[in-house]
Amino acid sequence: MRLFVLILTLIFGISELSAQAIPLISPDRDMTFTKRNTLDEDSAYFFIRTTSVADEADGTAYYFNVNIDTAGGGCETDTTFMGRKALLLDDIYQTYVFFNDQQDSIFIRTDVELYDSWVFYTWPDGKYIKAQANNKIFKPIMPGVNDTIVRIKLSVFDPSNNPLDIWPDNQKFDLSEQYGLAELYNFYAFPNDQELILLRGVSNPDTAITDVSAHAALDIAPGYEMHYEEFFEDEGYFDLHRLYKLFVLDTLHNDLSVVITSQRTLWQELTLSGTTDTLQVLDTITVEYFYSDLAQLDTPELQWMQYEEGAFAFSDFILEPDTYSGIRHKWLYGGYSSTSEDTLCASILTGASPWPLKLYGNELGIMYKLDSVLELLVPDAIDPDYGNVELQMVYFQKGLITWGEPIDFYELGFTGINEPAELAFQIYPNPAEDHLQISGVQQAAYINIYSADGRLLRSEPYYSYISISELPSGIYLLQIMSDEGTGTTTFIKQ
């Protein structure tokens, strides 16, 4: 009998201590939570649903539907308390990273044994919250729903690992084996407390969680080619149609801006009062882009910001693997003239489309822009209420990545087009292990090497012999730019 009890004890002890990955988020279910003891709204229920799942460099990203308003009002009762996104990292602990409204990172491990601990959150001043899997309990998690939960205790420490008796010390949250998050805090406000320890916009560089920032959007490399189409129609009185092609020749970065030199091909057809004029331009342009002008890109997603006096805007990051060849991009919405938060939130909930609407791509700059006609240099007679000017990227080539269909200027009757001549050269061996030999280039040139996902890995003066020993195995694009022309080829590093 004692042996039987001992065996049972060991079995249950092992099951209590064994690790189990909890399905924290599932695209197949709606999750329901109760907002308790806040403004006497004990019975206010909140919902959240996964709208899309995407593979990112750091793991699997879950994007949430946060526009379900449980009371039909504005932001105060909107279901945004878990943020817009959670990232399931590729680690042994099945760690989920949630992002609140200040882009702080909140870490929840789900494949844990009892008494496992980890850093749940870190303040900018070095204080941190430690989470520990404290025990397992079978209990009701919602009315009429029972499940086994793992209770996670939170403790606060200073940078020297000394315990601090401040909120949320000795608080806890629960993970349900069947339903994922069963009890949690408002991640958008976490960890808000009476002692006013405020969160700041701290990202998470330690785990390489990335977004489209101003610096990333303007990290445009030599050799990139981008085509745009721009048009404006004003009921036949004023029509403008432009086609652009930009081939990037040089970039110069500093702390405040980036200077980009491009060869530009521009075709324009302007109709004004029944008269049509056509313009053709072939030139080289140099433009300086200031990071401060793209400050909206550095604002956390879905955060209201001052757009101009009396108007507000917000941004929304998105990753669509099947759009723009999977390049990360970020929408900027703006032009709300009302300063009422409820009005702003109601506009989002009803799907209203504010203007101007802009889209920036990682390492591609602006990809779409909808501007008021007031920004056009057109005659004063044009009525600014008639419409907007739309600029849209229709094609790009970025290393080995292309998207869209290139504009054929010859079809438009363009003459004297000054495209870079196709430079013919040879490389060998291919595949190669340590080096490449190049022949066929007579004048001074630059060499660019791109990865398969379009990142510029090296840019250096031309030499007929280059080492590739530091490159991982894979497929790469080699581009040579010189006064003779521009040529590209691929090679395989073994």
Positions of the chain with pLDDT under 70: 1-20, 29-49, 65-82, 101-103, 142-144, 186-189, 192-211, 234-237, 299-321, 333-356, 372-387, 415-420, 444
**Where exactly are the structural domains of the chain?**
2-207, 214-412, 426-493
The pLDDT of residue 163 is: 94
Backbone angles phi, psi at 293, to 5 degrees: -75, -15
Dump pLDDT digits (tens) for 276-304.
Answer: 888 888 889 999 999 988 877 776 555 55
Q: Determine the pLDDT at residue 317.
A: 57
Rg, C-alpha atoms of the chain = 28
Task: Enter the pTM of the model.
Answer: 0.64
Q: Which of 332, 331, 391, 398 is nearest to 364 (CA)?
A: 398
Q: Given 2.60.40.3080, 2.60.40.2220, 2.40.10.120, 2.40.50.100, which CATH number is that of 426-493?
A: 2.60.40.3080
For 84-111, how does the pLDDT look when each residue is reduced to its tens digit (9 = 90+)? 788 899 889 999 998 776 667 889 999 8
pLDDT digits (tens, 9 = 90+) for 155-182: 999 999 999 988 888 888 888 887 777 7
Q: Residue 4: what are its φ and ψ, rounded to 5°?
A: -60, -45
The pLDDT assigned to 217 comes to 92
Half-sphere exposure for 428 (CA within 13 Å, toward CB): 3
Integer Cα distance of 151 and 136 in angstroms: 6
